Structure 1
Amino acid sequence: MTIPAQTSGTTLTKDAAPGDTLLKVTGLQKHFPIKKGLLQRQVGAVRAVDGIDFEVRAGETLGVVGESGCGKSTMGRLITRLLEPTAGKVEFQGKDITHLGVGGMRPLRRDVQMIFQDPYSSLNPRHTIGTIVSAPFKLQGVQPEGGVKKEVQRLLSVVGLNPEHYNRYPHEFSGGQRQRIGIARALALNPRLVVADEPVSALDVSIQAQVVNLLDDLQSELGLTYVIIAHDLSVVRHVSDRIAVMYLGKIMELADRDLLYKSPMHPYTKALMSAVPIPDPARRGAKSERILLKGDVPSPIAPPSGCRFHTRCWKATQICTTTEPPLKELRPGQQVACHHPENFEDQAPQDVVLLTAAKEAAELVSEDALAESAATSAAVAAEVEANEAAEAETSEAAEATETEESAAAEAETSEAAEATEGAASDGDEPAAEEPPAKEK
């Protein structure tokens, strides 16, 4: 797809080079208060986002997946500063934007834009398409070269719509066309970061492919950086470079796309991957290996202690109920928050007694999946032990070689010293005999 060039009136300088950190989130939290009574006293809080850390590099696409209610959309509104964080820090190109007000965020609105989930409610039905897409220019006081109308028509052609539809209203368009209008509005000021909150979830499958391909083409042509929030794992796999898996306000796993789909480490990630349908007619009569999770997601008002997934996990032990696992990089490019990860050695091998909830959850997991998990973890643990033993042998051999070399060097040094002393003593004897010769 050939994208018309943007006019010079709205071109912004790209400060961040590809690969540099564009967005950095540290300890981000958002708690919605629960108030009751006549005096509206706070009696609790909904922990929608409860401490997450991640980075987004310039030019990449970060996918965020998870069940409904895990805090994905809230996280997207926090990093675009449409919501005020309860705690934590949001940095954009090294600048702290966590608590910037409306006036402070206004210049940054050019660089950070959002595509909303519902294309029917995100467009004002009383305004024409031209008014909707031209709103960013008026709010930012930007006058494009050639006029606002010409620039809006260019944007409509960029997203695959007819520029002549400038004066039409949203109700005259289908869902896919409305989503394209939302994309055109988000791209009006040539942003650096675009947060797309489930951009294709409300669309038909055929239209989903068109919108996803459009986003991909726009990224390659305009150098955009995406944070795409979705629950469709096949869509995320198609568009993402890295993927973050969220559960109950926390990031369970953050990894490169290929690593995550090839060897997921967190049990929750493995359960999600097992739910992806495989479009293969030959597998129509094959037995499904889907992992069924026990129960529903716990309430974010009172999340479980320790690991939040332990109430539904088939590998949960006592340590999972008391100690929250940190998000740690167990493999290059793959961070996991789990005491008993899949496809890797156990991080808490001393704790082997399964909880009652874990035993009940294991009944919903196929025996093949359990056997494969145990075999893979055992193989990885054996491989790690073999590598450690090989490293120990290498270090011992190196130490022995260093000891032999140092002993040989010391021996050579001592021999050289003895030879020097002998030569010095031989040279002193004639000097001592000279004075008597002179007396004679």
Structure 2
Amino acid sequence: MSENAEDKEAKAAGAATLSKDAAPGETLLKVTGLQKHFPIKKGLFQRQVGAVRAVDGLDFEVRSGETLGVVGESGCGKSTMGRLITRLLEPTAGTIEFEGKDITHLGVGGMRPMRRDVQMIFQDPYSSLNPRHTIGTIVGAPFRLQGVEPEGGIKKEVQRLLSVVGLNPEHYNRYPHEFSGGQRQRIGIARALALKPKLVVADEPVSALDVSIQAQVVNLMDDLQEELGLTYVIIAHDLSVVRHVSDRIAVMYLGKIVELADRDSLYKAPMHPYTKALMSAVPIPDPKRKNAKSERILLKGDVPSPISPPSGCRFHTRCWKATEICRTTEPALLELKPGQRVACHHPENFEDQAPQDTVLLTAAKEAAELVADEVLAESAETSAAVAAELAEETTEEAAEETGAEETGADEGSAEASESESESDSQESTDK
């Protein structure tokens, strides 16, 4: 009895520690150097002969109350990243901090109180619900696992949650096979929100749904965020969905973040060539443009294998701007504009970071054939314009500094002449 009481007290203390609400704008989740390598084993003795580098060094923060969108091609490590930050997978390296507490290698007991604050909405609504359990049992499971007794009982709270996500509370005793895909996803959302978490990781929450249902689910998540003060990390393929729901967007390519910026900056002036290629694929619903020449960028080839990723910049095998430095040196994720971090030696819409390296690689010449001439010309013009603008600013600053130095020198000479005249007058007075 005494041991059980002590366990309950320890759990309550842990829950109390994690239940301190972060103020809006404060860092809720901080990820540093996050890696996940899945070993490849062969032979009778299952010796490791390699590793799949699904996630290979991520650095980002999620602030309380915001929505971070994560986009990228299939196989770039988005879903693995989502499972890592919810601790459904054990990281190979790096750290994950939630509300200032390091949760990277917490055990089952240490993670139990945190499970109330971090939940996940899974991609496939068909496989994420147990077909043997009723909807009431599925949505009520978090209360039973955490030992929480909601006011009015579990059944009443589950029925309330079902009505919140747009389902009939009377369907409490039905089974998952009696619902459509969109309804199942709503059930998954209700289960994730049961314990009023602070962080919700949604792994492609609308990709398995009909287009007519996608808008309903996205609007539902927006409403719930405003009502409950939730923080979202939304993983998606659809760039229009990400633009609608996100405050900031991270673009992933082959296990790394290549660009991280706020929504407006990213869609208005993408700085990484890969981001520009993604944005060019978004259709523009304008009948007047049907005969206009397409400016879509077609990337050459597929994403390289995460078992042996390319050296240097991982996008250089498909990039039309790649030079020797891209093949040999990996670019760091730097903040080139306020709130916009990019990992590129030759960024778009900004001054070239490696102007001395101008000889294109063979892969770049082949990739350039798939890029519209207008896009290449626009890229060169914007880079030149930004470089000229920065040069002007530098010249103006230098002129201001020179003017300030000259002014200081004039003031110093004036003060010296004044002191000399004062000393002469003093000498004449003494005489």
| Counterpart residue number, 1:93 | 99
Query: Aligned partners of 2:96, 2:235: CA distance in 1, in Å?
Result: 18
Give the corresponding residue for 2:266.
Answer: 260
Bigger shift: 400-409 or 65-74? Answer: 400-409
Q: Is 1:357 aligned with 2:363?
A: yes
Query: Runs of 5+ in structure 2 lacking a partner?
Result: 1-14
Paired residue secondary structure (1:145): coil
**Shift of residue 405, structure 1, vs aligned partner:** 1.5
2:108 equivalent to 1:102: yes
Two-structure CA RMSD over aligned residues (Å): 1.4
- Higher-Rg structure is 1
Offset of 1:124 from its aligned partner? 0.3
Q: Residue 383 of structure 1 aligns to which amino acid in structure 2?
A: E
Q: CA deviation at 1:417?
A: 4.2
Matched, 1:47 2:53: yes
Matched, 1:272 2:278: yes
Deviation at 1:289, TM superposition (A): 1.2
Letter in 1 for 2:103: I
Runs of 4+ residues deviating >6 angstroms? none
Partner of 1:370, secondary structure, is helix
- State which of 302, 313, 324 in structure 1 corresponds to 2:308: 302
| Amino acid in structure 1 at the alignment position of 2:347 | P
Provide the C-alpha distance between the structure 2 equivalents of 1:95 and 1:416, rounded to a whole number of angstroms. 68
Residues 31-88 of structure 1: CA deviation (Å, up to 9, x unaligned)? 0000011111110000000001000000000000000000000000000000000000
Q: Work out which of the residue numbers 241, 250, 262 in structure 2 matches 1:244.
A: 250
Letter in 2 for 1:407: S
SS for the counterpart of 1:122 is: coil
**Aligned position for 2:161:** 155
- Offset, 1:333: 1.0
Tell me the equivalent position of 1:216.
Answer: 222
- The structural deviation recorded for 1:110 is 0.6
- Compared CA separation, residues 283 and 14, structure 1 to 2 (3 A): farther
Q: CA deviation at 1:403?
A: 1.5
1:31/1:421 Cα in 2 relative to 1: closer, same or farther (>3 Å)?
Answer: farther
Counterpart pick for 1:326 among 325, 332, 340? 332
CA separation in 2, counterparts of 1:339 and 1:295?
21
Q: Describe the SS at the equivalent of 1:63.
A: strand
Question: What is the TM-score when the length of structure 1 is the normalising length?
Answer: 0.93
How far did 1:402 drift?
1.5
Q: Partner of 2:140 in structure 1?
A: 134
Question: What is the aligned counterpart of 2:349 among 332, 343, 346?
Answer: 343
Per-residue deviation, 1:24: 0.4
**Matched residue, 2:27:** 21
Correspondence list, 1:5-84, <5 A: 13=19, 15-84=21-90
Partner of 1:370: 376
Query: What is the percent sequence identity of the aligned residues?
Result: 83
Which of 189, 208, 214 does residue 202 from structure 1 map onto? 208
Q: Who is 2:130 aligned against? A: 124
In the alignment, is residue 401 of structure 1 matched against residue 407 of structure 2? Answer: yes
Secondary structure of the corresponding residue to residue 402 of structure 2 = helix
Does the 8 Å CA contact 1:14/1:192 hold for their aligned counterparts? no
Query: Partner amino acid for 1:393?
Result: A
Q: Secondary structure at the match of 2:29?
A: strand
**Distance verdict in 2 for CA 1:96–1:421, change over 3 Å:** farther
